[in-house]
């Protein structure tokens, strides 16, 4: 209903952020901080983005096939499997469809393949849409590698110097 009436999720919304990787789980207030500090809203993260397509329940075999396809499309599995073009297409469509102002990707240090995928996808986003992308390394589950303050400082610099 709010979408139909043009009501933003954050009052006086100024920035729409795509977050096509995982949360920073150890900083539970990060998204609230973005809302309160920058009037920014995170439209999506990769773990919460799951389009449930209708399941074919006409036969037992079709039920299992539909469940298998649903599992293949779930979360990171759906966007990070197959050739890199799948992820690039996913991200470009998302940026365009949701009128994204910037993309932020806090990347897990251990996921080298995802880090490479993010770099290539970020170039495509910049070239095809002009939307800026921030990629930085961290451990989304452990603040000992990169602290909340360091992450917030990095995001703040990006939003104030590049996006706004």
Q: Please, which residues have CB within 8 angstroms of residue 21's CB and are 6 or more apart in sequence?
A: 45, 46, 105, 106, 107, 108, 114, 118
Fill in the DSSP letter of residue 6: T
Instruction: Provide the pLDDT for residue 149.
Output: 98
Instruction: Provide the pLDDT for residue 9.
Output: 80
Q: What pTM does this model have? A: 0.84
Q: Where are the domains of the chain?
A: 2-163
Instruction: Provide the pLDDT for residue 33.
Output: 98
Query: What is the CATH architecture of 2-163?
Result: 3-Layer(aba) Sandwich (3.40)
Instruction: Provide the pLDDT for residue 51.
Output: 66
Instruction: Provide the pLDDT for residue 164.
Output: 92
Instruction: Provide the pLDDT for residue 50.
Output: 62
- Over the chain (164 residues), what is each successive 10-residue block's mean pLDDT? 79 92 92 96 76 82 84 63 84 93 92 87 97 96 95 98 96
CA distances from 51 to 74, 88, 94, 130, 138 (A): 8, 17, 12, 26, 27
Q: What share of the chain is helix, strand, coil (3-state, %, to 5)?
A: 50, 15, 35
Instruction: Provide the pLDDT for residue 139.
Output: 93
């Amino acid at each position: 209903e709010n979408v139909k009436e043009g009501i933003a999720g954050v009052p006086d919304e100024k920035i729409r952020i795509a977050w096509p990787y995982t949360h920073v789980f150890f900083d539970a207030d990060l998204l609230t901080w973005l809302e309160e500090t920058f009037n920014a809203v995170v439209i999506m993260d990769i773990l919460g983005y799951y389009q449930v397509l209708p399941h074919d329940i006409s036969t037992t075999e079709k039920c299992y096939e539909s469940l298998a396809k649903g599992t293949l499309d779930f979360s990171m599995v759906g966007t990070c499997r197959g050739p890199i073009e799948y992820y690039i297409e996913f991200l470009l469509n998302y940026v365009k469809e949701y009128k994204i102002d910037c993309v932020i990707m806090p990347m897990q240090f251990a996921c080298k393949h995802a880090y490479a995928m993010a770099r290539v996808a970020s170039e495509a986003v910049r070239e095809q849409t002009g939307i800026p992308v921030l990629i930085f390394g961290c451990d989304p589950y452990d603040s000992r590698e990169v602290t909340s303050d360091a992450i917030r400082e990095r995001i703040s610099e990006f939003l104030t110097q590049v996006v706004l």
